[in-house]
Structure 1
Amino acid sequence: MAEIREALEVLKNEGYKLTDKREKLIQILSKEDRYLSAREVYEEILAKYPSISLDTIYRNLQTYSELGILEETEWDNERAYRFRCDIDDHHHHFICTKCGKSKELLTCPMEIYENQLPGYKIMEHRFEIFGLCDECQA
């Protein structure tokens, strides 16, 4: 529950109005330890807020991502979001393309690439591995 309070505090500090819908979005994502598409979030919130639009979900998820509340990735031409990891250090993920479950990878391969780019300045990077988790393979 501390992560929900922290996320709401970030929204408040950035000047966003704290609404029940915004809090419900955060609750949905905080209870799942996996990446969710906007459509999955939409389908879950629809029961409580039947008039909410998919565009509203997309906009809020993107805002949460920009504020660092959520992590964002893309596969199969669709963005997916998960609550920010507890790991504060730089890390990457393995992401199951069937269920969206992720596992943190604590090793970063950037040294390999930095050595191949002398004189270049790398500003940022992402490294994700996609596949099937052990449960989805079974």
Structure 2
Amino acid sequence: MKVEEALQILKEHGFKYTGKREEMIRICATEKRYLSAKDIMERIKEQYPTLSFDTVYRNISTFVELGILEETELDGEGRFRLACSTDGHHHHHVICTECGKTSSLPGCPMNIISAVPEEFQVTGHKFEVYGTCKECVTHSN
């Protein structure tokens, strides 16, 4: 997803444009990894020193609800990244537990799962693989 697409989604859902919201989205767009709310707060506080953590977290929650940000949990903490795309391309990720970088996985494990009962209608799923990326392994040795 591009920043402009995210801002358009906000507008379509009746949310007012603010520089703070745009900057939060830009921070997530710049990073190719999952960030904590604290990470986002650290990056935005110089530009907006009076911005509260509650405001940052509320906006992040809104972005997740609208599909602008994707969410996962690493070390018991919510982490967020800009959604990959809005073109409906379904995929999953491998996630580095050290730095939060992600890579897309080809295919979907749901295509090979036949154990879901016939009477159960699947409305969504999540599949993530956790590990350590090459750069983090190299730095730890």
User: Do the structures match in fold with TM over 0.5?
Assistant: yes
2:101 counterpart residue number: 101
CA-CA distance at 1:62 after TM superposition = 1.2
Amino acid at match of 2:71: E
CA-CA distance at 1:47 after TM superposition = 0.8
1:130 counterpart residue number: 130
Deviation string, structure 1 residues 97-119 (Cα, Å, up to 9, x no partner): 11110000122111343x11232
Specify the SS of the correspondent of 1:79.
strand
Deviation string, structure 1 residues 29-86 (Cα, Å, up to 9, x no partner): 1111111110000011011111111111111111111111111111211111111114
Query: Across the two proteins, how many residue pairs are aligned to each other?
Result: 136
Amino acid at match of 1:69: I
Specify the SS of the correspondent of 2:2.
helix
TM superposition score normalised by structure 2:
0.89
Unaligned 5+ runs, structure 2: none
Distance 1:91 1:106 in 2: 7
1:78 counterpart residue number: 77
Say whether residues 1:29 and 2:46 are aligned partners.
no
Say whether residues 1:17 and 2:19 are aligned partners.
no
Amino acid at match of 1:116: A
CA-CA distance at 1:96 after TM superposition = 0.6
Unaligned 5+ runs, structure 1: none
Runs of 4+ in 1 over 6 A off after TM superposition: none
Amino acid at match of 2:95: I
Distance 1:49 1:118 in 2: 51
Distance 1:131 1:122 in 2: 27
Percent identity of the aligned residues? 49
TM superposition score normalised by structure 1:
0.91
Distance 1:93 1:13 in 2: 28
Specify the SS of the correspondent of 1:103.
strand
Deviation string, structure 1 residues 107-135 (Cα, Å, up to 9, x no partner): 2111343x112322222110001111110
Residues 104-115 of structure 1: matches in 2 within 5 Å? 104-113=104-113, 115=114
